[in-house]
Amino acid sequence: MKIAINARFLQSGNLEGFGWYTHEIVRRMVLSNPEVAFLFLSDRPLDPSFIYGPNVTPLMLRPRARFGPMFLWWFEYSVRKALKKHRVDVFFSPDSMCSLRSKVPVVMTCHDLVPIHFPEQIAWIHRHFIQTFLPKYLRRADKVITVSNYVRQDILQTFKLPGHRVQTIYNGCRDGFQPLNESEKEAVRRQYSGEKPYFFYAGAIHPRKNIHRLIRAFDLFKDRTGSPENYRLPI
């Protein structure tokens, strides 16, 4: 069996949301399935650290996909041609994009519908493209993966897809996320919160992340517990 992976977000030193998701999922796929051949498709050379096993073949495809027209060229010409040439059985895309014209079965992850419901929060250079093509990609995919049941229900209600085509697979966590002992906790508190207990926000600083509501909720918590000085909120 041969599986092609959209590996555009595997960028050394710059693994953000899509990148970490791709890295953690695909690394385990490769290591757990040594009999499967994996074709990693990217628009730039892949760092050797992302070649997770001898069953991985990296393939760089031009052009660099950075905005609408380049996305279309990359997926509808370069990716489609590569999938056909290498006789791929399944194409997995973790970033909500795929080739509309390819006949290869597609499994695609959709993380949210922010571009549809809150277009003003998307950079203008991407906004029109995503609003136009995300619905097409969702309808094209043979299977859509969501990372929460909320997003699954949102997709089903917004685009009327058959329920069996959209499946929730929750995010896991990396091996580094382990409980700390008490001395380690104290060291962290000294470094980040002046030795006070704290609530920690680790997401992007962006309006769609509802940070303003987090701050309001933290204020309410302090008011209702009568402990305005006893807790911190590192962001």
The string of pLDDT tens digits covering residues 19-71 is: 999 999 999 999 999 999 999 999 999 999 999 999 999 999 999 988 889 99
Q: Which of 61-65, 185-189, 202-206, 222-226 has the lowest mean pLDDT?
A: 202-206
Is residue 90 scored above 90 in pLDDT?
yes
Confidence bin at 214 (pLDDT 50/70/90): very high
The pLDDT of 66-89, averaged and rounded, is: 96
Q: What is the pLDDT of residue 41?
A: 99
Kindly list the structural domains of the chain, giving each domain's residue range(s) and its CATH number in brackets, ordered by start. 2-168 (3.40.50.2000), 182-225 (no CATH)
Q: What is the pLDDT of residue 205?
A: 83
What b/e string do you get for 190-207 counting C-beta neighbours within 10 Å, with b at 16 or more? eeebeeeebeeeeeeeee
Look-up of token digits 């996320």:
177
Q: What is the pLDDT of residue 29?
A: 98
Q: What is the pLDDT of residue 226?
A: 83
The pLDDT of 4-28, averaged and rounded, is: 94
Phi, psi of 42 (to 5 degrees): -145, 160
Q: What's the pTM value of the predicted model, to 2 decimals?
A: 0.89
Long-range contacts of 214-223 (CB under 8 A, 24+ apart): none
Q: What is the pLDDT of residue 94?
A: 98
Is residue 121 scored above 90 in pLDDT?
no
- Report the percentage of the chain scoring pLDDT > 70: 100
Confidence bin at 126 (pLDDT 50/70/90): confident
- The DSSP symbol for 37 reads E
First-to-last C-alpha distance (Å) of the chain: 44
Q: What is the pLDDT of residue 204?
A: 80
Q: Which residues pair with 56 in a beta bridge?
A: 38
The average confidence (pLDDT) of the chain is: 94
Q: What is the pLDDT of residue 160?
A: 96
The string of pLDDT tens digits covering residues 140-157 is: 999 999 999 999 999 999
